């Protein structure tokens, strides 16, 4: 089974110098996390940016008595708790491993020092931030313009294996419908 590769991903955005790649490698930690591991708990500050070599992850938060999924992420994607990592404030969301993972990560301070010591890395950082920002806007647009059924089909298209990894309730809250409603949507094919 193929795994995603961080340096390949970065180099596909803009070729990085050897010395920059070496410095990244020097900071990088690679770890395995089994299903149900918690990468971030609400109240903590999101300190690390993770790259998913392998596995599947979701973020969620609590509001009232309910739980809401913020996103799902799979191989080749970067994860942070956006609000907390960028603002350096306690997170309102949790990050949880849904499928055994291999993750590479560096922490916030190391990332800042990469930007400082290698100004050209700002380009890469900016492009990644912009790409995920575009995805975030797309999410609001999908909530605004797609039916629940279309949102469900889009999620399955984006993450084909998601039904084996996430529960219906986790998926339903991401789609902004109740679990019973999603179950009925599925029942009609």
- What residues make contact with DNA under the rule CB under 7 A? 147-148, 167-169, 176-184, 186-187
What values do phi and psi take at 43, rounded to 5? 100, -30
R_g of the chain, CA atoms, integer Å: 17
Cβ-in-10-Å burial (0-12, 13-18, 19+) of 92 comes to middle
Give the bridge partners for 30, in sequence order: 104
Which of DNA, a copy of itself, none interacts with 168 (beta carbon under 5 to 8 A by kind)? DNA
- Size of residue set near a copy of itself by CB under 8 A: 31
Nearest to 43 by CA among 91, 85, 94: 91
In the complex with a copy of itself, the residue whose CB is nearer, 87 or 183, is: 87
Q: How many residues does the chain have?
A: 189
**Residue 143 binding target from a copy of itself, DNA, none, CB below 5 to 8 Å by type:** a copy of itself
Binding mask 70-99 for a copy of itself (x = CB under 8 A): x-----------xx--xx------------
Structure tokens, 156: 């399955």
Phi, psi of 29 (to 5 degrees): -115, 130
Among 91, 173, 182, 185, binds a copy of itself (CB under 8 A): 173
Q: Is 144 in the site for a copy of itself (CB under 8 A)?
A: yes
Is residue 145 involved in binding a copy of itself (CB under 8 A)?
yes
Is 74 within 8 Å of 119 (Cβ atoms)? no
CB 154 within 8 A of CB 142: yes
- Closest separation in Å from C-beta 62 to DNA: 15
Catalog residues that contact a copy of itself under the rule CB under 8 A: 61, 63, 68, 70, 82-83, 86-87, 115, 119, 122-123, 125-126, 129-134, 136-141, 143-145, 173, 176
């Amino acid at each position: 089974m193929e795994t995603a590769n961080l340096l390949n991903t970065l180099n596909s955005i803009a070729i990085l110098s050897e010395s920059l790649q070496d410095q990244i490698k020097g900071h990088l930690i690679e770890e395995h996390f089994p299903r149900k591991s918690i990468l971030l708990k609400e109240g903590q500050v999101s300190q690390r940016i993770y790259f998913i070599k392998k596995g599947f992850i979701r973020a969620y938060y609590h509001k009232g008595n309910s739980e809401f999924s913020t996103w799902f992420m799979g191989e080749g994607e970067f994860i942070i708790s956006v609000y907390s990592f960028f603002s350096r404030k306690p997170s309102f969301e949790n990050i949880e491993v849904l499928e055994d993972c291999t993750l590479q990560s560096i922490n916030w301070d190391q990332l800042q020092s990469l930007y400082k010591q290698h100004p050209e890395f700002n380009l890469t950082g900016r492009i990644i931030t912009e790409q995920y920002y575009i995805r975030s806007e797309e999410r609001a647009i999908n909530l605004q313009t797609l039916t629940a059924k279309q949102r469900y089909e889009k999620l399955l298209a984006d993450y084909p294996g998601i039904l084996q990894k996430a529960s219906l309730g986790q998926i339903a809250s991401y789609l902004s419908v109740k679990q019973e409603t999603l179950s009925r949507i599925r029942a009609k094919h």
